[in-house]
Structure 1
Amino acid sequence: MLVNKNAVIYGATGAVGGAVAETFAREGARVFLTGRDLDRLEVLADKIVSAGGQAEFARVDVLDRAMVVDHLAEVRRAAGQIDISFNATGISHRGLQGTPLADLPEQDFSRPIDFYTKAQFITATAAARHMTEQGSGVIMTLSATPARLAAPLVGGMAPAWAAIEAFSRVLAAELGPAGVRVVCLRSNSIPETPLIAEVFSLIAPTVGLTPEQFQAGGEQATMLKRLPTLAEVADVAAFMASDRASAMTGAVANLSAGSVTD
């Protein structure tokens, strides 16, 4: 689906970013992996190349606008154009979830809002400038079910994810006339990822459950009676980034397994 596409992946050393990078490469894209840990980026790039894909990597801090801009300029010089920008960056949720809002320090409430909105804004708008010149491209953002679901003990994460979805819609409206699409993936918890294991361990004790019991409750709250997998999220990302989804923009792909209905 992505043959002859050039994709920049932010947060490629994370579980979602890595899975998406591998799937994009398997679908034919030339992937440009970014993150802050060069050793882990090199391991992922080697894995992709060993499987027959094309991958390059660079250290990029998504909160450093100049670094993001310079890297995209290098990618465009090397590849000719930037077809896909996918931002899967994140931060540890320790100290950010598991505490009632009334007891949460202000700085811990605002930290995820500041990080996630700034990270998505910097990478998306930097890509937008290249894509509007080209007259094509797909910018992909990432949110989670608390953007729409009334979930307790998630702190500032829910407002952060809701802001990302709103930002994606506004950006889509602005870039649509230039032929650039903006789509967001809204996933539910993905149990196989280290981040979700951390989140379950933070929230479960506050409601008198083990992490395993908390996960089981989350599964039962979905229509499918299970939570999504990394492979499912990555496959949908590849479809949304491809020309097969060329009529979709300003949209949020619902990967909640039915915990949120649209």
Structure 2
Amino acid sequence: MLLKDKVAVIYGAGGAIGGAVGGRFAREGAKVYLTGRRLETVRAVADKISSHGGFADAALVDALDEAAVEAHIASVAEKAGRIDISFNAITAVPQPGTQGIPIAELPVDSFLAPINLYMRSQFLTARAAARRMSKAGSGVILMNTPEPARIGAALVGGMGPAWAAMEALSRNLSAELGPSGVRSIVLRSTGMPETQTIDVVFGLHAKALGITPQQFQGFVEGMTHRKRFTSVAEVAEFAAFLASDKASAMTGTVANLTGGLIVD
């Protein structure tokens, strides 16, 4: 098992990405502490993991709440003895009003909304993990961004800058924490049709372009070398590898899982 006896904290675990990563980590032997703003959804993921013989704990944690994040991770560290992996998969930005609108027509608050939300949450959870990991001399902080973090994309408003800022934060974390044995990596993927919000996103962009959501999806998929989007399962599989000791040389970088949409 890649992650035998590792302790992982996952934020946004009730979503498709967070839930899939939690499940993959557990199958690789990790003890997973799942959090989210809707406890019943997180518990459903934990119950599924437990039914397959894995260890999963569910907790109500708003990843934008500094006190809640600190209290939860302190509790996990006390119970489990350490924090080996932190993965923040939150996608709580409301797309209507923030995407599908030309920048020249976008209200300033709508532009800043995703930047403020993503950066606050990623900073709070990464900082909480970094404090414990640096003292222990090991650990991995993971984030996930889509392709607009790197390429210029129309009608994404502040989303692209927010995702790019996440990647910059990860690099800075690596530079500061690397000497203490802590790694920081971003998984950059495509949009994923399995996620709960993708239909809304495709719909907003399609409407702005005067095409159907299916046409928009086909257009973007056609830009990849494989002619299909990255799947949630593929992201979860690679997240487990990156979190493992087999990826010990990787830090301060972005793992390109865009299927050729972005060519490094």
Q: What displacement does 1:63 show?
A: 1.1
Residue 216 of structure 1 corresponds to 218
1:31 aligns with 2:36: no
User: Any gaps of 5 or more consecutive residues in structure 2?
Assistant: none
Q: What displacement does 1:42 show?
A: 1.2
- Structure 1 counterpart of 2:165, one-letter code: A
Instruction: Give, in whole Å, the separation in 1 of the partners of 2:211 and 2:186.
Output: 32
Q: What displacement does 1:105 show?
A: 0.7
Q: What displacement does 1:93 show?
A: 1.4
Question: What do the CA deviations read for 1:111-134 (whole angstroms, capped 9, x no partner)?
Answer: 000000110000001100000110
Residue 205 of structure 1 corresponds to 207
Residue 13 of structure 2 corresponds to 12
Q: What displacement does 1:153 show?
A: 0.4
User: Any gaps of 5 or more consecutive residues in structure 1?
Assistant: none
Residue 71 of structure 1 corresponds to 72
- Structure 2 counterpart of 1:221, one-letter code: M
- Structure 1 counterpart of 2:18, one-letter code: G
Instruction: Give, in whole Å, the separation in 1 of the partners of 2:122 and 2:144.
Output: 9
Instruction: Give, in whole Å, the separation in 2 of the partners of 1:94 and 1:235.
Output: 31
User: Where in structure 1 do 4 or more consecutive aligned residues deviate above 2 Å?
Assistant: none
Q: What displacement does 1:197 show?
A: 1.4
Aligned length: 262
Give the one of 88, 93, 110 matched to 2:112: 110
Instruction: Give, in whole Å, the separation in 2 of the partners of 1:237 and 1:62.
Output: 20
Residue 184 of structure 2 corresponds to 182
Instruction: Give, in whole Å, the separation in 2 of the partners of 1:62 and 1:40.
Output: 15
- Structure 2 counterpart of 1:33, one-letter code: L
Residue 238 of structure 1 corresponds to 240
Question: What do the CA deviations read for 1:51-73 (whole angstroms, capped 9, x no partner)?
Answer: 11100011111111111111111
Identity level (%): 56
Instruction: Give, in whole Å, the separation in 2 of the partners of 1:17 and 1:44.
Output: 9
Q: Residue 222 of structure 1 aligns to a residue in which SS?
A: coil
Q: What displacement does 1:230 show?
A: 0.6
Instruction: Give, in whole Å, the separation in 2 of the partners of 1:64 and 1:202.
Output: 29
Residue 156 of structure 1 corresponds to 158
Q: What displacement does 1:255 show?
A: 1.2
